[in-house]
Chains A and B, each alone.
Chain A
């Protein structure tokens, strides 16, 4: 049993959530900065840090009130008792991570609760444990976001093996870059998905990098360049370009995931990270034969604190603890 208050501030979303037993989300508040960063075509680290610093108290206040837990510093407060405070401590933007970790350590100190530092990607992996249906260990995970494209063998909490990752751009990053080429707004994921509606995915034959390669590595820089050349050669209807790019990007993920299933024999696959919100990817991966796919709800694909709380529950049970001297690590490795 555990009730955990978790904080996520690794990039441009300030999130605070309260979660029971790693599965039941009592509150999940996210203050997104997308509109602020949009005009720059991407996340500006200094602006992100400043926004987290401004937003954290309001987001935490809302999350605590909504969860119906007892405010430990409020004598007349009633409700469930909190057992721990958790925060993302990497990887991510240092200035942003510091805000969540410092705020969380203060809460833990004042309330006399353990502080649990959580790896951001382990948080994403645990997003599939939220709710009633969860995979059984060991399972395979496809982690796809603006910063990551990885196939991970998940043996137990904190025990992961990296099977393959991107050699260059992350898949979410390639959506952002291609969106810019096509004059579509940031972030690229949703805007390309929208632009691709009604487009012909077969109009352009964009490459599926490393398709017949045995390794489980990815490469996305060539795909972006192929779109650039197609534009230079006269282009075509934007919907066709967007649909053909999306088709190639998603196809590669599905091909590599199928190879990973064959190589490991693991038949349960978790699809996590921001790109897991892509409808085509959810549809294609879900259609893989003989594979049981676990996908978080859309709101748990994006950066959020509920997933950090879900991972923190497992770490809490395993006795993992940070302390007052814990500092974030922007390049924290998962394995």
Chain B
């Protein structure tokens, strides 16, 4: 059996799960425990305790864990850094492989993969924008239709058509815009559509099997936004060129 310890701190929710599977069988992983709560801005003080609670409920010691997985974003910059720095520390200290998992890819596993479905995870990116991506289920497999991006909701929705299944706090926040732009859209309401470490774990197993890197140094956040200083500098350079 293979044991995986996963965490998602990309939003204000803190989610930690211990999952297991038999790598020889195609059966979905089993969730041994999942600790899930609203951490607000307290990820840094809660995360290790949440991990200990998850391990304790699963009756698994940290030494028995074979694989680590962490959400790499997009999401809250601070939340991502707390999760990544903490999980990098675990990986370095225990010499464990660490799989970085994109948040929206993991979220696509929160809902059933019915044939032909268009799954659209959306997270509130503040500044009147969403982090979004779109996946089509074809022949039982997930095909990326729209790579993770950060856009104003109208612009993001303009790239979609048909009857998407919209999930995440961004979908809830902009439900009126979704209904107007895509009348056939289906909303998965909270709480089922919030990022969860168990979905992340499932995605991590799949990536691990696909040969994804497990180097802890390379499990870095994907922010999708540059720092304001970089934006200002690029704008100044553009103005200068013009």
B residues sitting closer than 8 Å to A (CB atoms) are: 44-49, 52, 62, 77-78, 81-82, 84-95, 216-217, 220-221, 223, 227-230, 233
* Structural contact, B228 and A71, CB atoms closer than 8 A: no
* Structural contact, A105 and B89, CB atoms closer than 8 A: yes
* Structural contact, A39 and B89, CB atoms closer than 8 A: no
Residues of A within 8 A of B91 (CB): 57
How would residues 99 to 118 of chain A score, 1 for a CB under 8 Å from any chain B CB and 0 otherwise? Answer: 11111111101110000000
CA distance A305 to B84 in the complex (A): 21
For residue A325, CB closer than 8 A to chain B, the reply is: yes
**B165 CB to nearest chain A CB (Å):** 33
4 additional contacts (CB under 8 A) given A40-B233, A106-B89, A325-B46: A57-B91, A98-B44, A103-B89, A324-B48
CA distance A95 to B77 in the complex (A): 9
**B195 CB to nearest chain A CB (Å):** 19
Total chain A interface residues with beta-carbon distance under 8 A? 39
CA distance A111 to B47 in the complex (A): 17
CA distance A102 to B89 in the complex (A): 8
For residue A10, CB closer than 8 A to chain B, the reply is: no
Residues of B within 8 A of A324 (CB): 45, 48-49, 52
- Nearest residue in B to A109 (C-beta to C-beta)? B48
Partner of B85, one of A56, A71, A73, A111: A56
Residues of B within 8 A of A243 (CB): none
* Structural contact, A53 and B81, CB atoms closer than 8 A: yes
With contacts A40-B229, A44-B227 taken as known, whether A99 is within 8 angstroms of B85 at the C-beta atoms is yes
* Structural contact, B45 and A326, CB atoms closer than 8 A: yes
**A26 CB to nearest chain B CB (Å):** 18
How would residues 79 to 105 of chain A score, 1 for a CB under 8 Å from any chain B CB and 0 otherwise? Answer: 000000000000000110011111111
Partner of B77, one of A46, A54, A101: A46
* Structural contact, B221 and A50, CB atoms closer than 8 A: yes
Partner of A47, one of B46, B48, B229: B229
* Structural contact, B216 and A57, CB atoms closer than 8 A: yes
* Structural contact, B45 and A325, CB atoms closer than 8 A: yes
* Structural contact, A57 and B95, CB atoms closer than 8 A: no
CA distance A74 to B94 in the complex (A): 8
Residues of A within 8 A of B227 (CB): 44, 46-47, 50
Partner of B78, one of A54, A95, A326: A95
* Structural contact, B233 and A39, CB atoms closer than 8 A: yes
CA distance A107 to B217 in the complex (A): 15
- Residue among A74, A109, A111 with most chain B CB within 10 A: A109
Task: Provide a sorted-by-A list of 26 A–B residue pairs whose CB atoms are within 8 angstroms.
Answer: A39-B233, A44-B229, A47-B227, A47-B230, A49-B77, A52-B85, A53-B84, A56-B85, A57-B216, A57-B217, A58-B217, A60-B92, A61-B92, A71-B95, A72-B93, A74-B95, A95-B77, A95-B78, A98-B44, A104-B89, A105-B86, A106-B87, A107-B89, A107-B92, A109-B93, A327-B44
* Structural contact, A99 and B81, CB atoms closer than 8 A: yes
Residues of B within 8 A of A106 (CB): 48, 85-90, 92-93
- Nearest residue in A to B223 (C-beta to C-beta)? A50
Residues of A within 8 A of B86 (CB): 102-103, 105-106
Within 8 A of B (CB), among A300-335: 324-328
Residues of B within 8 A of A53 (CB): 81, 84-85, 88, 220-221
- Residue among B44, B230, B233 with most chain A CB within 10 A: B44
Residues of B within 8 A of A109 (CB): 48, 62, 90, 93
Residues of A within 8 A of B93 (CB): 72-73, 106-107, 109-111
**B88 CB to nearest chain A CB (Å):** 5
A-B pairs with lowest CB-CB distance, top 9: A106-B89, A110-B93, A46-B227, A102-B85, A324-B48, A103-B89, A57-B217, A44-B229, A325-B45
**A70 CB to nearest chain B CB (Å):** 13
CA distance A57 to B44 in the complex (A): 18
Residues of B within 8 A of A325 (CB): 45-46, 48-49
- Nearest residue in B to A106 (C-beta to C-beta)? B89
CA distance A280 to B203 in the complex (A): 59
With contacts A46-B227, A110-B90, A110-B94 taken as known, whether A101 is within 8 angstroms of B44 at the C-beta atoms is yes
CA distance A94 to B82 in the complex (A): 11
CA distance A107 to B233 in the complex (A): 38
